[in-house]
């Protein structure tokens, strides 16, 4: 699997000979605010006009359940096998519809006075306590949201205005649309803004320092520092490592290394952090993708990490300004009896070591991050590249929808 555009010989030379790191221009270092990314700055509750995973499909039944997505309260309910999403507020007195139930097929009823709403349209179809002749029937309603089920999850489209949602497969990682696979994962509600979580996932600098104590990396050394560039390709941006340094002398301070006697020694010229062992067994599906780099990111905040034999994905789902849902998914392109081996490893170890303790270190940092103001440094090229991508793509989406700012619905609507 290629992780650098350099030849193996060139990579080996670069790994041995220290090269002075190129420094970013002065105006890109030490930024105090996010004024260069106005749309990103305003997106505290998320980018609208995208699909978001909300929960496991198996968790949605005939009993309505409450969720918050992009600052909007919604309820999810299943009827006749299909999942529906409605705004979680009865327009009568503001009682959550998720506290209600189904009194009639294809509907959900408010528990307070029996206002009953059609699931596909959100229209008020009956008011139980006012009889069949209620004059409000058909004149009021609640907002509905498009719903799809993919990867064993329920996805909800959060619109910019009243546009039709784009096909969800256009937003999913391409390799998950066109290949058979098995997967394991978890939904974990966490503190901290979704942007901090997304920036952390693609962050160039933290992994080799923050995660040096993670059990997931117990026998695998992490570099001290490296030089990375960002490569755009299609709708993704990739982190590509050009130079990797496993230890370093800091003048007046001392020597720093992540190497330990019990760890495997990294092979010379290793540029893929997930590939510090033998690389002769690369999954053919992963290899065929031709990823330029180990880590990649796309809108609206979807991280992809390519290991030699499996893929890891993270979705940073906005709940509100101060909370997000971390969705971590591990995928293996195996079939037959090999799927049992994968599930055994995932449920027995990976779920706890990787999606638990390792990812928990990220959750800790995301929850205590407080920016802006901020002072950026060279490795933050990954952060600024992501912000640039978000700013540019969201500006295009707003223009295509003919709006300057997205609109949220917090009340009932007239039919």
Q: What is the model's pLDDT at position 226?
A: 82
Cβ-in-10-Å burial (0-12, 13-18, 19+) of 249 comes to: exposed
> Tokens 């995928």, residue?
331
C-alpha distances out from residue 235 to 203, 291, 304, 375, Å = 18, 13, 12, 28
Name residues of the chain where pLDDT drops below 50: 1-27, 271-278, 410, 414-415
Q: How far apart are CA 85 and CA 66, in angstroms?
A: 10
- Kindly state the helix (H) or strand (E) to which residue 237 belongs, with its residue range: strand 236-245
Q: Which helix (H) or strand (E) holds 109?
A: strand 107-109
DSSP 347: I
pLDDT at residue 155 in the model: 99
User: CA nearest 273: which of 295, 302, 248, 247?
Assistant: 295
d(CA 285, CA 164): 33
Per-residue model confidence (pLDDT) at position 69:
99
What is the residue-wise DSSP string for 238-258? EEEEEEEESEEEETTTEEEE-
* C-alpha neighbours within 13 Å on the C-beta side of residue 382: 26
Q: What is the pLDDT of residue 340?
A: 81
pLDDT score, position 314: 96
Among residues 412, 370, 365, 408, which one has the least CA distance to residue 46?
408
Contacts of 128 (CB under 8 A, 6+ apart): 103, 109, 113, 114, 115, 116
- The predicted pLDDT at position 278 comes to 47
**pLDDT tens-place string over residues 281-330:** 788 999 999 999 889 999 999 999 998 888 999 999 999 999 999 999 98
> Domains (ranges, CATH) in the chain?
8-42+173-399 (3.90.380.10), 50-158 (2.102.10.10)
């Amino acid at each position: 699997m290629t992780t650098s555009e350099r030849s193996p010989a060139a990579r080996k030379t670069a790994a041995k000979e220290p090269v002075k790191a190129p420094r970013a221009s002065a105006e890109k270092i030490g930024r105090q605010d996010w004024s260069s990314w106005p749309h990103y700055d305003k997106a505290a509750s998320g980018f609208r006009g995208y699909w978001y995973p909300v929960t496991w499909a198996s968790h949605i039944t005939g009993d309505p359940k409450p969720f918050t997505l992009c600052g909007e309260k919604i309820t999810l309910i299943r009827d006749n096998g299909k999942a529906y999403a409605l705004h979680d507020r009865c327009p009568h007195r503001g009682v959550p519809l998720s506290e209600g139930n189904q009194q009639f097929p294809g509907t959900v009823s408010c528990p307070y006075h029996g206002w009953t709403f059609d699931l596909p349209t959100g229209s008020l179809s009956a008011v139980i306590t006012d009889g069949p002749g209620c004059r409000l029937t058909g004149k009021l309603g609640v907002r509905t949201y498009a719903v799809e089920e993919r990867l064993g999850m329920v996805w909800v489209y959060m619109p910019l205005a009243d546009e039709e949602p784009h096909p969800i497969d256009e937003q999913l990682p391409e390799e998950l649309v066109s290949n058979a696979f098995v997967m394991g994962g978890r939904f974990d509600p966490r503190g901290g803004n979704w942007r901090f979580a997304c920036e952390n996932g693609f962050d160039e600098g933290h992994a080799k320092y923050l995660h040096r104590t993670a059990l997931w990396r117990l026998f695998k050394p992490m570099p001290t520092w490296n030089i990375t560039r960002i490569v755009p390709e299609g709708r993704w941006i990739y982190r590509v490592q050009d130079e990797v340094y496993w230890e370093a002398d800091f003048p007046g301070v001392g020597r720093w290394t992540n190497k330990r006697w019990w760890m495997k020694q990294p092979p010379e010229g290793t540029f893929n952090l997930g590939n510090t062992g033998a690389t002769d067994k690369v999954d053919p599906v992963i290899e065929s993708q031709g990823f330029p780099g180990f880590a990649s990111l796309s809108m609206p905040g979807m991280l992809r990490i390519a290991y030699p034999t499996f893929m890891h994905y993270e979705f940073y789902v906005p709940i509100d300004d101060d909370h997000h849902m971390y969705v971590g998914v591990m995928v293996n392109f195996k079939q037959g009896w090999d799927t049992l081996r994968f599930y055994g490893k995932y449920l027995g170890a990976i779920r706890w070591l990787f999606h638990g303790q390792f990812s928990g270190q990220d959750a800790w940092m995301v929850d205590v991050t407080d920016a802006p103001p901020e002072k950026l440094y060279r490795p933050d090229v990954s952060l600024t590249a992501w912000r640039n991508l978000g700013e540019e793509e969201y500006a295009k989406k707003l223009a295509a929808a003919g709006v300057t700012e997205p609109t949220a619905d917090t009340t009932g609507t007239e039919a």
